[in-house]
């Protein structure tokens, strides 16, 4: 038995805000090598390191080149859309993404999507980049990792226009209706530590509508540490708490949750399967 963290952020150099106020010791403890070592000890055998902006790509490449069990995605997060539309034109974005997709450890495009919670005013740029990156996913024949926050109707509508592209809704926290729409599109649904929170009753209810062969698990670290480690910085080793909570809610063994979610990960991210 092993676990796969289907969505984590290992670009710790970018999370200075997270580290603010923490001791230097903690910063040392949260370097990538230490995190990988702890995840191996916790049986989290594989992880997908998610890109959020184009300046990520070389640092992420060096991480996945160093560790055989880590794969990466390349892509622009919706909250980075405004900045990227100012810094690059479409051709430049396409070139950088396509070029990085040739790399054997780049197994998907992401995270991409729409976020109207934090940035409704960049709606136009977000939609533009979402569409562009969906075209690139189709060209490169790679699945996507989708971020959708308070934008479920628009996200589903855009994805319907790109039905050749498949992927996973990451950090899913929607209701039963949204889950069904995502599943109807042929997408997988990934559950994060949010499921362990007391207030997450809607998500805990949605879980029952996700067939086991469409379920993935993730940390989305360094954010959203699950109970019982809430308040700490999150890391891939903690994905086991997500599996344990799902196991408890569905009354299915943790081993089974580990097996199906890992299988699903490699079914979607085929390039990871062939390069492991």
Interface residues with Zn ion (CB under 5 A) are 220
Shortest-Cβ-distance residue relative to Zn ion: 220
Residue from 45, 48, 60 nearest 14 by CA: 60
Q: What angle do CA 110, 190, 133 make, to 5 degrees?
A: 20
Nearer to Zn ion, 48 or 200 (CB): 48
What is the H or E stretch that residue 39 is in? helix 32-41
User: Are 158 and 144 a contacting pair, CB within 8 Å?
Assistant: no
CB of residue 9 vs Zn ion: minimum separation in angstroms?
A: 6
Nearer to Zn ion, 197 or 212 (CB): 197
Nearer to Zn ion, 16 or 161 (CB): 16
CB of residue 252 vs Zn ion: minimum separation in angstroms?
A: 26
Burial class of 263 by CB neighbour count within 10 A (0 to 12, 13 to 18, 19+): middle
- Which residues pair with residue 108 across a beta bridge? 73
CB of residue 7 vs Zn ion: minimum separation in angstroms?
A: 6
CB of residue 15 vs Zn ion: minimum separation in angstroms?
A: 12
Whole-angstrom Cα distance, residue 170 to residue 6? 8
Nearer to Zn ion, 53 or 220 (CB): 220
């Amino acid at each position: 038995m092993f676990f796969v963290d289907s969505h984590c952020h290992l670009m710790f150099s970018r999370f200075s805000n997270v580290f603010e106020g923490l001791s230097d010791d903690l910063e040392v403890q949260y370097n990538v090598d230490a995190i990988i070592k702890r995840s191996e000890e916790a049986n989290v055998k594989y992880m997908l390191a998610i890109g959020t902006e184009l300046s990520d790509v070389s640092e992420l490449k060096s991480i996945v080149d160093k560790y055989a069990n880590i794969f990466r995605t390349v892509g622009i997060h919706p909250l980075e859309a405004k900045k990227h539309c100012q810094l690059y034109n479409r051709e430049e974005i396409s070139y950088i993404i396509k070029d990085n997709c040739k790399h054997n450890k780049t197994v998907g495009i992401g995270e991409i999507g729409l976020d109207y919670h934090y940035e409704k005013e960049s709606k136009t740029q977000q939609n533009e980049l979402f569409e562009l990156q969906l075209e690139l996913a189709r060209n490169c024949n790679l699945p996507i990792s989708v971020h959708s926050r308070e934008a479920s109707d628009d996200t589903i509508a855009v994805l319907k226009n790109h039905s050749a592209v498949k992927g996973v809704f990451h950090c899913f926290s929607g209701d039963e209706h949204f889950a069904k729409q995502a599943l109807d599109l042929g997408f997988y649904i990934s559950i994060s530590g949010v499921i362990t929170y007391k207030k997450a009753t809607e998500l805990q209810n949605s879980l029952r509508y996700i067939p086991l062969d469409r379920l993935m698990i993730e940390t989305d670290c360094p954010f959203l540490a699950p109970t019982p480690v809430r308040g700490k910085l999150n890391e891939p080793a903690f994905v086991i708490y997500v599996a344990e909570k799902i196991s408890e809610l569905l009354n299915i063994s943790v081993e089974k949750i580990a097996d199906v979610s890992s299988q699903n990960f490699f079914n979607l991210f085929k390039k990871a399967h062939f390069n492991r």
